[in-house]
Amino acid sequence: MTQCTLRFAVAAGWGPSGCAGEMGVQEPHRIEERETPSPAPMGKESLAGTQSGDRGAAGDKLCRKGPQGAVRCQERLCHLHPGKYIKMFMRGRPITMFIPSDVENYDDIRTELPPEKLKLEWVYGYRGRDCRANVYLLPTGEIVYFIASVVVLFNYEERTQRHYLGHTDCVKCLAVHPDKIRIATGQLAGVDKDGRPLQPHVRVWDSVSLATLQVIGLGTFERGVGCLDFSKADSGTHLCVIDDSNEHMLTVWDWQKKSKIAEIKTTNEVVLAVEFHPTDANTIITCGKSHIFFWTWSGNSLSRKQGIFGKYEKPKFVQCLAFLGNGDVLTGDSGGIILIWGKTTVEATPGKGAKGVYQISRQIKAHDGSVFTLCQMRNGMLLTGGGKDRKIILWDHDLNPEREIEVPDQYGTIRAVAEGKADQFLVGTSRNFVLRGTFNDGFVVEVQGHTDELWGLASHPFKDLFLTCAQDRQVCMWNSVDHTLEWTRLLDEPGHCADFHPSGAVVAIGTHSGRWFVLDAETRDLVSIHTDGNEQLSVMRYSVDGTLLAVGSHDNFIYLYVVTENGRKYSRYGKCTGHSSYITHLDWSPDNKYIMSNSGDYEILYWDIPSGCKLIRNRSDCKDIDWTTYTCVLGFQVFGKHCLTLKFCEQGAEHLPSTTEIRHLLLLLMLVEMPKASKSAHSLEVMIRFTNLHSY
């Protein structure tokens, strides 16, 4: 097998509704196949994807030959009848796909996978908006953080990434072992490509080899893993975990033995952090909404003491924890206060020894707004990060402020702070930036990405550039070779789709309101604004010579424009009327005469553009038309990918709390031959585009 690596850009929709978006194709129910006459009968494998008694790809159900030559499977039925088309049923709706004339024997179509392999090379983005304490510098010189289901290890000096890909759904928390090599990451619950539930769990892995060392918590955690920490006093033998259940269960594990040692309910309120005490192996601390708990761990039992604020104002949220060298506990809260909790000894109870309790010994006003993160440095000094004031403050050994710097407003508020090399520090922000900075020189952007649902993706026709647009109203132009941001522009409203003019001079961007913008691809200046209807635009597509533009809308119409002046002038040409649902995909023929389109209710329609955007009633006349692109997800060339029991499901959406704002889509990619007349082809991504030289 050829060990060739292909690379391309993938845009993942982060849908709050529980599905990855209307661009997805739902589960098929039945396939009826009519073969072109051929001397050789069609084999069972090409129909059902499996030999008798075997199971096909992706856990396909056992297929057996039924009456009248039919191959019967659970939830699908395949028939052999003479003819020149294939009929597939999706949600009870028949979809007819005519076989091209040059296909003499349908059974001879290649169904094996091509020899090339896909390899993830780069991930653009960081999850900071709804997470915390998830950026660290490793001894390898790599910054570790996560986005969606991928944990990224980014070497900012060499500009390379490595990726831990063991998770099956969105990663929500991260902890580094005391040896700085092993890492624990916790994920949310989700569903697999067959709709089966994926259980939340923690994976412990080696950051050098990327090998998974242990998977713990399957069947134990509910909804997801909220926070976790390795023990320090015993060199990281144990791991404590808080899950996302209503009771926020605290569990303690001997992770190397995969053994749960202790378990207890914490609180019905939000828990934001959990940490082992660095010197007292039997003390675990949790904090969150209106509470801080000090847990004593002994054998398989956990006992709780609530932190008493006494004369000090009780905060709405205790946001973060850290420890001083003498064992005192530091907390940062929503009031901008740092509290120092010292352990004191109280009088012995009759029959029992003296007990130690944590009490507040000092209060410091640190920030305007929340203290969002505390970072104990190697030299014993302290870094704190504020929310509202966006300040990072350096505190000396006596907790006196020594230096401070403000994170610029465009990067958002602070979510994570970690010590970097020498005098540097790393900052994760609410607008999904990872910054590297010093108090003297300010900040350098190392990682950035969108902060809301990403829908639009387009590749430049001849440069190593691609463009993304999202619900955050940002339009970003990326360099696919340097992996850098060329420019960004804020639109008046969220972007949903985009396409470059073949000249590369301009790019058209459709929005959720029916408006679409044309931007200069180099200067990002606004060239023109147009409006078609008042519903979301789902696809923009220029003809191959750039003289026409088709705009697909959720109002069920395709709007056509004549394009002149190298993409800078547009005049309405016509409108394609006939779809019974919103437009999802469309493609042009090379001669600009025809358009093929798909809709939300699984229609495949063809349009005669020179004849006034007329619907072609006899679709068999279109079976031999060539297409400049093949982005449509329904049609003979791609029908095989729908024969699997697949759903476009956003990972964990139905399991997430309603307050979660960003939800990521796990991407499952398979490189397939075209046409793909096989049940083993599948698709779970939202948008994929190859770059101009097909190297990415």
Query: Is the bond preceding 675 in cis, omega lying within 30 degrees of 0?
Result: yes
Q: Enter the tokens of residue 584.
A: 């999802």
pTM of the model: 0.82
Q: How far apart are CA 438 and CA 440, in angstroms?
A: 5
pLDDT at residue 15, rounded to an integer:
39
> For the segment 87-145, what is each residue's pLDDT rounded down to a tens digit?
888 778 888 888 888 877 766 666 677 777 888 999 999 999 999 999 999 999 999 99
**Would you place residue 28 in the very low, low, confident or very high pLDDT band (cuts 50, 70, 90)?**
very low
Domains and CATH numbers, the chain: 166-306 (2.130.10.10), 454-689 (2.130.10.10)
Instruction: Look at 96-110, 132-146, 281-295, 673-687 and tell me which has the smallest mean pLDDT.
Output: 673-687
**Contacts for 410 with CB less than 8 Å, ≥ 6 apart:** 431
Taking the C-alpha atoms of residue 402 and residue 426, their distance in angstroms, rounded to an integer, is 18
Distances, alpha carbon 227 to alpha carbons 129, 213, 230, in Å: 16, 19, 11
For residue 46, what is the DSSP state?
H
CA angle 170/173/177 to nearest 5° reads 130
What is the distance, to the nearest Å, from the Cα of residue 68 to the centroid of all Cα atoms in its chain? Answer: 46
Q: How far is Cα 228 from Cα 271, in angstroms, rounded to an integer?
A: 11
Please tell me the predicted confidence (pLDDT) of residue 87.
82
Give the residue-averaged pLDDT of 267-288. 97
Instruction: State residue 274's pLDDT score.
Output: 98
d(CA 670, CA 117) in angstroms, rounded, equals 9
- What's the whole-number mean pLDDT along residues 223-228? 98
Cβ contacts of 379 within 8 Å, gap of 6 or more: none
Task: Determine the pLDDT at residue 103.
Answer: 78
* Cα separation, 410 vs 397, whole angstroms: 32
Quick one: pLDDT at residue 679?
Answer: 37
Higher pLDDT, 200 or 645: 200
User: Per the structure block, which two tokens stand in for 197?
Assistant: 């539930």
Give the closest residue to 63 by CA, choosing from 655, 71, 499: 71
Helical H runs in 617-667?
none
Q: Considering only CA atoms, which of 666, 563, 553 is closest in space to residue 600?
A: 553
**Minimum mean pLDDT range among 31-35, 492-496, 550-554, 659-663:** 659-663
**454, 459, 425: which is closest to 442 by C-alpha?**
425
Q: Six-digit token pair at 622? A: 């279109």
* Distance of alpha carbon 529 from alpha carbon 380, whole angstroms: 56
Burial of 306 (0-12, 13-18, 19+ CB in 10 A): exposed
Determine contact, residues 643/95, Cβ cutoff 8 Å: no
**pLDDT above 70 (res 321):** yes
C-alpha span between 221 and 188 (Å, rounded) = 9
State how far the Cα of 596 lies from the Cα of 632, in Å rounded to an integer. Answer: 8
pLDDT at 215 over 80: yes
Q: What is the mean pLDDT of residues 54-63?
A: 32
Backbone angles phi, psi at 212, to 5 degrees: -75, 125
Q: What is the mean pLDDT of residues 653-669?
A: 30
Q: What is the pLDDT of residue 666?
A: 27
Confidence of residue 9 (pLDDT cuts 50, 70, 90): low
The stretch 166-179 carries a mean pLDDT of: 97
pLDDT of residue 660: 30
* Separation in Å, CA 107 to CA 56, 120, 229, 485, 678: 17, 33, 56, 47, 10
Give the residue among 127, 21, 18 at the shortest CA–CA distance from 456.
21
Q: Which residues contact 52 (CB under 8 A, 6 or more apart)?
A: 44, 63, 64, 65
Residue 168's pLDDT band (boundaries 50, 70, 90)?
very high
- The percent of residues above 70 in pLDDT, for the chain, comes to 77
For residue 88, which phi and psi values (nearest 5 degrees)?
-125, 140
pLDDT tens-place string over residues 522-551: 999 999 999 999 999 999 999 999 999 999
For 438, counting Cβ atoms within 10 Å of its Cβ (0-12 exposed, 13-18 middle, 19+ buried), the class is middle
Q: What is the CA radius of gyration of the chain?
A: 29
* CA 371/CA 332 separation, integer angstroms: 5
Pairing relationship of beta strands 71-73 and 76-78 according to DSSP bridges: antiparallel
Other Cβ atoms within 10 Å of 186 Cβ, number: 27
Q: 3: pLDDT confidence band, cut at 50, 70 and 90? A: very low
Tell me 643's DSSP state: S
Asked whether 618 and 575 are in contact (CB, 8 A), the reply is no
